[in-house]
Structure 1
Amino acid sequence: MNKSEVISCTDMILNTFSSIEKEAFNKNTKFISVWKKVVTKINGCGQKLYEHSSLIEIKNGILLIEADHPGWIQLFQMNSKFIVKGISMYAPEMDVKSLAFRLKGSNALLHNVDYDEVMSKEKEIMRKKYENDEKIIQDTVRKVENECTLYELPPELLSKFESMKSSVLTKNENK
């Protein structure tokens, strides 16, 4: 290795950060401060939530948050509406619609997720479940109707029920 191949640390840092656009940097800095402002306002545990989490990425209106324990993720889920509303108030340009979570150490990312594709798959699953449930209900109704026609009531019992029905209706009408 000769001297021309050696790069100083300063040059390496300057080369790395020169590619970052100032506008994107400012936008990210604003979003991080909004994140801190919103999360720390959560009653009781906001500061701790902030300290035990980090922002990973945002895509298609979904903000991916990493937490270092499943308990923190649960607290985030319980406060997700508050967080989304707060971010929308302070940084509407970020267009955050929902939150997603991952446990620290996992490599889950949103960049491989197509929101519209996921939504259409979920809708299809729900449609199939609805159709299956509807079929079960219709089959049950048919079965009950068939069983009811198999058991005809004797005429004297039927007349007793009619008499009870008319006496109940008559009593309600007199009140």
Structure 2
Amino acid sequence: MNYFGKTDCETIDAAEMVTRLIENVKNSEIEQGNKILRSWRAILESIHSSAKNGQNIGKNLASHSRIVDLRNGILLVEADHSAWLQMLQLHQRYILGSIQRRFPELNISTLAFRLRGTTAGLSDTYEQCLMAERAKMARRYEMEEQYIEGQGLLEKPEMTGEEAYRKLPPEIRKIFDKLKVDMLTNGE
């Protein structure tokens, strides 16, 4: 059985696949997403220049940016030019405060920005990233160890304690013997 409840030799049409995927998305999540998207434009359009004429720079910000993702309390925003990213960052505190007041249940704690066309995204959770990195490190460690063993650079001690003792220089064996006697007789 595969993800869609079919055996691997069965085929399903694209419409059925899309329908099954959409069934997994909760309507409340879709509604919440739509509310945020509508509010995004309204929040940005409320930003005005501090100049005397009070130019509405928010309309330009809204038309050159969009929300991309919301995960772990971080709202990812994309802009089509670095100048718009700078403007968003300049007004970040105001934007974040407005979003937090309108949607306290989302617990959005920060905004993250990216330039349109880049693939930067939000990772799932710290624990998932940590586990993935540990798995990568373990694989790399295993590969390095296999390489070292293949080169014959890794010595594995296969001697018993007695064999190792016999290979020691006589003066060190004498010191160990004296220590052994002292330990057994408590230095008497």
Give your verdict on TM over 0.5: yes
- Of 20, 29, 32, 2:34 maps to 29
* Corresponding residue number in structure 1 for 2:23: 18
**Which amino acid letter does the alignment assign opposite residue 112 of structure 2?**
A
Question: Does the C-alpha gap of structure 1 residues 59 and 74 become closer, same or farther in structure 2, counting only changes over 3 Å?
Answer: same
Note the C-alpha offset of 1:81: 0.7
Instruction: Report Cα offsets for 1:103-136 as digits up to 9, x if no partner.
Output: 1111111216739x9xxxxxxxxxxxxxxxxxxx
1-structure distance, mates of 2:88, 2:125: 21
Runs in 1 of length 4+ with deviation above 4 angstroms?
none
What SS class does the counterpart of residue 110 from structure 1 fall into?
Answer: coil
Deviates more, 1:12-21 or 1:40-49: 12-21
2-structure distance, mates of 1:38, 1:55: 12
- Structure 1 vs Structure 2: percent identity of aligned residues? 29
Query: If the length of structure 1 is used for normalisation, what is the TM-score?
Result: 0.56
Asked whether the 8 Å contact 2:67–2:78 carries over to 1, the reply is: yes
Note the C-alpha offset of 1:6: 6.4
Asked if residue 55 in structure 1 is aligned to residue 61 in structure 2, the reply is: no
Asked whether the 8 Å contact 2:72–2:124 carries over to 1, the reply is: no
Query: If the length of structure 2 is used for normalisation, what is the TM-score?
Result: 0.53
- Of 49, 58, 61, 1:46 maps to 58
Note the C-alpha offset of 1:73: 0.2
Greater RCO, CA 8 A, separation 6+:
1
Question: Does the C-alpha gap of structure 1 residues 110 and 8 become closer, same or farther in structure 2, counting only changes over 3 Å?
Answer: closer
Aligned length: 112
C-alpha RMSD over aligned residues: 2.5
2-structure distance, mates of 1:6, 1:13: 10
Instruction: Report Cα offsets for 1:123-164 as digits up to 9, x if no partner.
Output: xxxxxxxxxxxxxxxxxxxxxxxxxxxxxxxxxxxxxxxxxx
Query: Of Structure 1 and Structure 2, which has the larger fraction of its residues in helix?
Result: 1
**Which amino acid letter does the alignment assign opposite residue 69 of structure 1?**
H
- Of 74, 82, 105, 1:93 maps to 105
Question: Does the C-alpha gap of structure 1 residues 5 and 102 become closer, same or farther in structure 2, counting only changes over 3 Å?
Answer: same
Question: Does the C-alpha gap of structure 1 residues 113 and 66 become closer, same or farther in structure 2, counting only changes over 3 Å?
Answer: farther
Unaligned runs of 5+ in 2: 1-9, 49-55, 130-188
